[in-house]
C-alpha cells in the first residue's frame, strides 16, 4: 500500500503542473475576495477542482495517490508562500498590485474596465464607508486581496511631501 514507485512521482509532478496552471488561471481572472465571489465564480472554482482531479492523479485512484496529491499541493503552496514573501517581484506577479479606481471624485474608467468593476460595486463600497456621492471621494483603490479601500477628500493629506513619493517609488523597484 505505501510503496513509493514511479507512478506516485508522476502523481506529484502532475499535481505541481496543475497547481501552477490553476494558480495562473485564477490570477488572470482578477482580484476578488472570497466573500465577494459571485455564485458563478464559486461554481467555476468547484468545477475546475473536479475537472483537474483526474489530470493530477491519472489512473491512480488509490488512497496513496490521493495522499500524494494532497501533500504535493500543500508543499507546493507552502513553497510559493515562502518564496513570494521574500520576493517582491514574485509577490506582485502572483497577487497583482493595487489599482486606483477613483481619484478626487473622478472615476478612472480604464482601470474599472480592466478590473471588471461595475459602478454599482463602487457605490456599495462608498456606502460601506459612509460616503454618498462621488464628489466626496478622494481616493478609491482596489486592493490586491479584492477589497475596495475608500478615502474621503477630507481624509487626504493637505500638503504633499515629495520625498515620501520618491521613497515609495524606490522601494517598488526592489
Q: How far apart are CA 21 and CA 56, in angstroms?
A: 12
Number of helices (H), then strands (E), belonging to the chain: the values are 7, 4
CA-based torsion, 9, 11, 15, 21: positive or negative: positive
β-bridge partners, 141: 100, 149
Taken as a whole, the chain contains a residue count of 174
What is the reported pLDDT for 158? 65
Walk along the chain (174 residues) and give the pLDDT tens digit of each residue. 455 555 788 888 888 888 888 888 777 766 665 556 666 777 777 778 877 877 777 777 777 777 888 888 888 888 888 888 898 888 888 777 888 898 888 888 998 888 888 888 888 888 888 888 888 888 888 888 788 888 888 776 666 555 555 444 444 444
- If one counts every other C-beta atom within 10 angstroms of the C-beta of residue 73, the result is 17
Nearest Cα neighbor of 77 from 19, 33, 27, 17 is 19
d(CA 129, CA 167): 29
Amino acid at each position: 500500500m505505501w510503496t513509493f514507485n514511479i507512478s506516485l512521482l508522476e502523481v506529484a509532478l502532475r499535481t505541481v503542473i496543475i497547481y501552477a496552471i490553476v494558480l495562473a488561471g485564477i490570477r488572470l481572472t482578477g482580484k476578488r475576495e472570497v466573500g465577494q465571489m459571485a455564485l458563478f465564480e464559486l461554481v467555476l472554482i468547484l468545477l475546475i477542482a473536479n475537472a483537474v482531479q483526474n489530470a493530477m492523479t491519472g489512473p491512480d485512484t488509490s488512497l496513496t495517490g490521493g495522499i500524494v496529491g494532497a501533500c504535493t499541493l500543500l508543499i507546493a503552496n507552502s513553497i510559493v508562500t515562502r518564496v513570494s514573501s521574500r520576493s517582491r517581484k514574485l509577490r506582485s506577479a502572483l497577487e497583482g498590485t493595487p489599482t486606483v479606481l477613483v481619484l478626487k471624485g473622478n472615476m478612472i474608467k480604464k482601470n474599472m474596465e480592466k478590473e471588471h468593476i461595475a459602478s454599482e460595486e463602487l457605490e456599495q463600497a462608498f456606502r460601506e464607508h459612509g460616503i454618498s456621492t462621488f464628489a466626496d471621494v478622494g481616493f478609491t483603490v482596489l486592493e490586491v486581496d479584492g477589497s475596495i479601500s475608500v478615502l474621503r477628500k477630507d481624509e487626504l493629506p493637505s500638503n504633499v511631501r515629495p520625498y515620501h513619493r520618491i521613497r515609495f517609488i524606490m522601494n517598488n523597484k526592489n
